[in-house]
Structure 1
Amino acid sequence: MDAEPHAWESPCSQRYLIDLPPGRVGPPPLEQDAPGWVAANRAVPSGEQFLKLTVQGKGQETVVVKRLTVRMAAKRAPLAWNDYAMGYPGVGCGGGVPTRFFTVALDAARPGVVPEAGHADFPFKVSESDPEVYYIRADASAYDVSWYLELAWSSGDRTGTLTVDDHGRPFRTSGNNGRPAYEFPLGGEKWVKEGTTQ
């Protein structure tokens, strides 16, 4: 199993909250460089977090992925940090359509993993030669939420639960309502207030 906590639904969809002024934040990274950029800036996904979860069996046996469950580690007031948009205004920002697509409303009293309209729900079967990729969009507007997932599986007479998190730490997603928002113009040299570029 492999979890990518900083996958992006499209090049312009992801935003991060950072407790730094724009003059101290480097240009937005490419998606593959996002984990290092996030760590260097102590950034927190803003408004929503997009996870890519790849699940694969081992050996010959088929594994049934029974369900994904959301577990809350903490729920706090949203972060009062600056909001930085990834991608560059004026550049195409289309994204693909994943095959297994789920949403999580982190503001809910009991958040659940819900399939997007038209997408199948658990259970799914995986094997070594037939992995599955699940895309999960978790959104928060009213809280700063630390959370993780539990994946329940079975294979033959064996069952188990795997924790899905950010390399041993909970995922963290914070609401961004009313926060100062910045974007980095294509060809520009610094962050500017969002909406001021043409």
Structure 2
Amino acid sequence: MPRTTRNVHRGTSETVVQAGSIGSVVFTGDRKVAIAIVAAAVVVAAAVVLSGGDAEPAVSAPPPTTTGSPVPTEPLLVTPERNTHMCEGDWTTPKAPHQLSPPPAGATRWTEWGLVSDGAATEHNHVTVTVHGAAGPYSVVLTGMSVTVDRAAPMTGTRLTKRCGGPEHVRLVEVDLDEPEPRPTGLDLTPTMRTWAEENAQPAEPVRFPYEVSPLDSETFAVRAHTTTCDCAWRLEIHWAGGGRRGTTVVDDDGRPFRVTASPAGTTTCSVVTDPPLCEAH
């Protein structure tokens, strides 16, 4: 039987992509996922659980190994990018309002504000995951995604917000962390997004496994995890087959789980647009 492996890849977080009123992050060539940014876009049309269907792809035998060309032990290179831009989501810190000062000049991400870096994204986590095949003579088939999550009571403290009035980033993969067994779900493009993609000659396909990656061909997934009930620590798992093997690659935040917390009723929210921050209980 093929040997099952479990590889952990740790990526660099905190990369932020911004755009004007309309922008995109897309594949070239045969890449299949378009990540579009459309002002006031409404998510969602039909949804489909991210799996490869009933039939699993055949696992090809690894090519003959020659001197200097071994089969890679880790078949995927995964780069997760956690978006903590102040304009694109709120942040919760365990600190009380009277302990806060304005964010440092020029800071655009919550994690650049050292005073509140012990906090977490509020209600929504946004992670972009790019997957390449590792250097080697064969490609790897991505067969699906799953999620593991540890739950605690929502963080108490202060909710921070900075509403900039920018575009909404439309996500193509949703994860409801409040479900007993959360499953990543692929989303169809809205009619507005589909029209924009067609007019700009961009791919307009929703996420549908399986996908094939190699050192020259990658896939990118925009993942949005959300909760209204817990302080959630979660990791994404990518299932693959290739080189005569099957396995799972765990995607996290440089060795730590991604984290997102619900906002309990009565939490004080402070807008950091003003100096000092303007705070009120909700």
**Could you tell me the TM-score, scaled by structure 2's length?**
0.58
Rounded Cα–Cα distance in structure 1 between residues aligned with 2:179 and 2:145:
16
What is the aligned partner in structure 1 of residue 259 from structure 2? Answer: 172
What is the aligned partner in structure 2 of residue 142 from structure 1? Answer: 229
What is the aligned partner in structure 1 of residue 83 from structure 2? Answer: 6
| Contact kept in structure 2, 1:106 and 1:138, CA below 8 Å | yes
- Rate the CA distance shift 1:183–1:40 in 2: closer, same or farther, 3 A: closer
What is the aligned partner in structure 1 of residue 275 from structure 2? Answer: 189
Rounded Cα–Cα distance in structure 1 between residues aligned with 2:117 and 2:84:
17
Secondary structure at 2:82 match in 1? strand
Which amino acid is 2:119 matched to? A
1:140-178 deviation per Cα after TM superposition (whole angstroms, max 9, x unaligned): 111111111111112231322111111112222111142
Structure (1 or 2) with the larger CA radius of gyration? 2
1:69 to 2:146 alignment: yes
Alignment of 1:7-26 (within 5 A): 12-22=87-97, 23-26=99-102
Which amino acid is 1:18 matched to? T
2:217 to 103, 125, 130: 130
Rounded Cα–Cα distance in structure 2 between residues aligned with 1:96 and 1:176:
21
Over the aligned positions, Cα root-mean-square deviation in angstroms equals 2.5
What displacement does 1:114 show?
0.4
What is the aligned partner in structure 2 of residue 103 from structure 1? Answer: 174
Unaligned runs of 5+ in 1: none
What is the aligned partner in structure 1 of residue 200 from structure 2? Answer: none
1:30 to 2:108 alignment: yes
What is the aligned partner in structure 2 of residue 83 from structure 1? Answer: 159
Name the count of aligned residue pairs: 183
Rounded Cα–Cα distance in structure 1 between residues aligned with 2:115 and 2:188:
34
Rounded Cα–Cα distance in structure 2 between residues aligned with 1:61 and 1:36:
40
| Contact kept in structure 2, 1:7 and 1:52, CA below 8 Å | no
What is the aligned partner in structure 1 of residue 167 from structure 2? Answer: 94
Percent identity among equivalent residues? Answer: 25
Rounded Cα–Cα distance in structure 2 between residues aligned with 1:27 and 1:181:
15
Rounded Cα–Cα distance in structure 2 between residues aligned with 1:96 and 1:82:
25
| Contact kept in structure 2, 1:38 and 1:44, CA below 8 Å | no
